[in-house]
Amino acid sequence: MKHLVIGASGQVGHALMKALDEAGHSVIGTYFSHSEPGLVHLDMTRRDAVENIFAKEAPEAVWIPGAMPDVDRCEREPAFSHQVNVEAPQLVMAAARPASIPLVYFSTDYVFDGVDGPYLESAPVHPLQVYGQHKVEAETALLAYPQTLVVRPAWIYSDEPNPRNFVYRVLSDLKEGRPIKSAVDQINTPTPAGALVRNALQALIEGHRGVLHLAGPERLTRLALVERIARMAGFSTDSIQSISVGDLPLPAKRPLKGGLISSYARYGISERLEDLNLTPLLTTS
Ligand SMILES: NC(=O)c1ccc[n+]([C@@H]2O[C@H](COP(=O)([O-])OP(=O)(O)OC[C@H]3O[C@@H](n4cnc5c(N)ncnc54)[C@H](OP(=O)(O)O)[C@@H]3O)[C@@H](O)[C@H]2O)c1
């Protein structure tokens, strides 16, 4: 099967390229601003560029991990967020529709307000910020296409030595001796990128369509998560300070009692934080 991954230069995109290759699929990946060998440039906000890549590559499945996932930037620049997070995925859907090409769109747990999580797929959405509102708008538009699979992960992490990966950022701070402020009142279900994309691929191939929650098996506060990363890597937790989300001057509101669970046990992720190989992160962070 030939896959097109739009946003292959991101954290989920990298994991997807690896998983698809390991599963023996043919794959074309795109970047937007971070050029990488083997990836082709695509600005998915441009209709002509999207149409050209479909015409040239004739993909049989399309993935959209591409997004503007910076929650605070979306709050400050809602028109930009709308263009990338809502309008662009619809351009991709329009290009996929004539040949009924399956489409996987990555959404978020931020579609929920975090009042009484964890949330099942059937829970009503109620986003607190522009990013979540735009993800809901995109989900709604894309789900009108029967070949769409909407995957919702939460707090994605990986073994990738890249500042986009929060485990890498935490380890960099610990190594450099920088103090870390971590919220004790924000709880979520951290999601390993590798298992996320492998299970999403299985769901796609088995014909699962509609909304699917794919998150890790544990529900942790941000503070507990950061402390656990420190202990796993052999660092003291002394430099980690417990704070409340409200203490941080952030433009966008965060869901507090969040997290995702799923009605579809067959796609459940069993991998825990302790299963993460820290070596690539410790040698480079
Ligand atoms: N990270 C999390 O904790 C988390 C949690 C829940 C849901 N999600 C969702 O999961 C998805 C993947 O997140 P991620 O962490 O992999 O994000 P990421 O690392 O920031 O990657 C975003 C990707 O989008 C690409 N992109 C940005 N603008 C584009 C444009 N105009 N045209 C084409 N591609 C464009 C980027 O390309 P360049 O880098 O080359 O510019 C990059 O490849 C997103 O939908 C996000 O909302 C993430």
So what's the pLDDT on residue 280?
87
What's the rounded Cα separation, in Å, for the pair 221 and 28?
37
178: how many CB neighbours lie within 10 A of its CB?
A: 10
pTM comes to: 0.97
Same domain, 81 and 207: yes
Atom of ligand 1 nearest to the CA of 105: 45
* pLDDT of 285 strictly over 60: no
Give domain status of residue 267, yes or no: no
Domain carrying residue 7: 2-157+192-213
Q: How confident is the model at residue 82 (pLDDT cuts 50, 70, 90)?
A: very high
Q: Does the C-beta of 138 come closer than 6 Å to ligand 1?
A: no
* pLDDT of 42 strictly over 80: yes
When the pLDDT of each residue in the chain is averaged and rounded to a whole number, the result is 97
Same domain, 86 and 27: yes
Q: How many CA atoms lie within 13 A of 263 on its CB side?
A: 9
Same domain, 203 and 66: yes
Does a cis peptide bond (omega within 30 degrees of 0) precede residue 118? Answer: yes
CA nearest ligand 1 atom 10, residue = 106
CATH code where residue 83 lies? 3.40.50.720
Residue pLDDT, tens place only, 233-254: 999 999 999 999 999 889 999 9
So what's the pLDDT on residue 151?
98
For range 100-121, the mean pLDDT: 98
What's the rounded Cα separation, in Å, for the pair 30 and 19?
16
